[in-house]
Amino acid sequence: MMKGKGAVLFWTDLHIHPWQEGQRAHRWKDGISVIQKIYGDFDVLDSICAVFFCGDLFESRLMWRSDIASDVFLCFAQVLARLDMPCIFVAGNHDYYKGTGVSLLRSIGTGLKNKHVHIVDGIGATREFTFNGSTFGCLDYSTVHKSRLGDSAAKDVVKNTVLNSNVLITHCDLKGGYHYGGHCSTKSDIDEQVIAKAKGLRFIVNGHYHIPQTFMVGKVKVICPGAVMQHCWRDMDTDAERGATAFNIKEGSCKRLLIPTPNFWSSIEKAGDHFSEIDFVRSVPKAKGEIKSKRLNNSATQKIASASILEAFDAYCENDGVSAKRRKTMVELLKEIQKEGS
């Protein structure tokens, strides 16, 4: 399947962030490891002619932590300098600072000054690329959002990109895709009538949905690589394996490329054969019993069998990473509730 330079690599939704840092120092470095894997360690890179990132590099749209941002930038500077192929970054909804049209990805593009790096993050961006005779059109979140709001320039960009593409790369809601909890999108952010008129359009590759999936929008197949890694307890007990997707242009076939990163489980029993020592495990305690750390190998397992309700609640929250100040507020509220019920 992967002979020659006949494939492109898709990955999405890194959402790099100090997740669970209270339980695992420098947890965000798992995201750095993913970047290094994608752009340097995959054996299939010899058969890849381009790498597409489909949106949401960072989690926070309000603040960058300088240590995280600098490590991300340095990592990209190192791995992309060694890679002699186009690397396209399509901005997602989390990539725009405070909801503005300013993409956080732009600092990577302008700072690296790498001819192979292309940032698609606004109406004026270059968004069509041709590989092996197929046109890959890219629609960033901001352009699609402005189009939905009636911006005429954005509507023209969306329409023309869809009509010109054989493979469309997006980061938006599409009818039939589902989020966590089984919530299914009932409408598409891109006009489905325009999609239906795009005679050359064979596939849509969409970020935004964190669970890997495929579905149809009309007669066009939608491929969602899913978030490249699990991020938080919202991912708990979702056993879909995470990683990137290699897409064979001629065949239209996909190959999953798994990346070992921590997963989240409600219990070891639930994880079963999928369990790894790097995973997070949450054991829900009974009224009297033992609270276990989210980190299975955390030696700070606490015994609260003889504790009062308030003490048990405080101990559980402390073990769950809640700050002392917030725990104090929550305990005071619980005291008030107890008084009202007495």
pLDDT tens for each residue of 92-145: 999 988 766 668 788 777 778 888 999 999 999 999 999 999 999 999 999 999
Q: Do 85 and 116 meet the contact criterion of CB atoms below 8 Å apart?
A: yes
Quick check: is 24 in a domain? yes
pTM of the model: 0.81
The SS3 assignment for 44 reads helix
Is residue 266 in a domain? no
Q: How many domains does the chain have?
A: 2
Query: Any idea what the CATH number is for the domain that residue 228 is in?
Result: 3.60.21.10
Nearest alpha-carbon partner for 83 in 50, 127, 126, 44: 50
Convert the pLDDT of each residue in 146-182 to its tens digit. 999 999 999 999 999 999 999 999 999 999 999 887 7
**Boundary (domain end) residue, out of 242, 258, 274:** 258
Q: Is there a domain that residue 214 lies in?
A: yes
Question: Are residue 65 and residue 138 in the same domain, yes or no?
Answer: yes
**Could you tell me if 36 and 144 lie in one domain?**
yes
Give yes or no: residues 154 and 232 share one domain. Answer: yes
The pLDDT-based confidence of 336 (bands split at 50, 70, 90) is confident
| Domain-ending residue, one of 258, 291, 323 | 258
Is 71 part of a structural domain of the chain?
yes
Interstrand relation of 128-131 and 134-139 (parallel, antiparallel or unpaired): antiparallel
Tens digits of residue pLDDT in 58-91 = 998 777 788 888 899 999 999 999 899 999 999 9
Which of 258, 291, 307 delimits the end of a domain? 258
| Residue 241 and residue 161 share a domain | yes
Range 42-47, long-range pairs (CB < 8 A, 24+ positions): 42/9, 42/244, 42/257, 44/2, 44/7, 44/9, 44/246, 44/255, 44/257, 45/9, 45/83, 47/2, 47/3, 47/4, 47/5, 47/6, 47/7, 47/246
pLDDT at 302 exceeding the cut of 50: no
89 and 205 assigned to the same domain: yes
Judgement on whether residues 141 and 208 belong to the same structural domain of the protein: yes
Specify whether 236 is located in the same domain as 309.
Answer: no
Q: What does 183-223 look like in DSSP terms, one character per residue?
A: -B--S-SS-HHHHHH-TT--EEEE-S--S-EEEEETTEEEE
How many other CB atoms are there within 10 angstroms of residue 158's CB atom? 25
Asked if residue 289 and residue 184 are part of one domain, the reply reads no
288 band by pLDDT with thresholds 50, 70 and 90: very low
Residue 303 has pLDDT above 50, yes or no: no
- Give domain status of residue 314, yes or no: yes
pLDDT exceeds 50 at position 297? no
Residue 104, domain member (yes or no): yes
Q: Which two tokens stand for residue 225?
A: 């690589």
CA atoms within 13 A on the CB side of 10: 31
Residue 19 has pLDDT above 70, yes or no: yes
Residue 115, amino acid: K
- Tell me: the pLDDT tens digits for 235-258? 999 877 899 999 999 898 999 999
Whether residues 254 and 299 share a domain: the answer is: no
* Residue 84 sits in the same domain as residue 200: yes
| Residue 279 binned pLDDT confidence (cut-offs 50, 70, 90) | very high
Statement to judge: residues 250 and 290 lie in one domain: no
Q: Please give the backbone phi and psi of residue 224, each rounded to the nearest 5 degrees, phi first.
A: -110, 105
Residues 6+ apart with CB under 8 A from 218: 192, 195, 196
Nearest by Cα to 54 from 174, 134, 157, 147: 174
Residue 277 within any structural domain of the chain: no
The label of the residue with tokens 């101990």 reads 315
119 and 190 belong to one structural domain:
yes
- The reply to whether 203 falls in a domain is yes
Q: Which domain holds residue 327?
A: 283-341
Distances (CA, A) of 229 to 12, 86, 209, 324: 9, 23, 12, 30
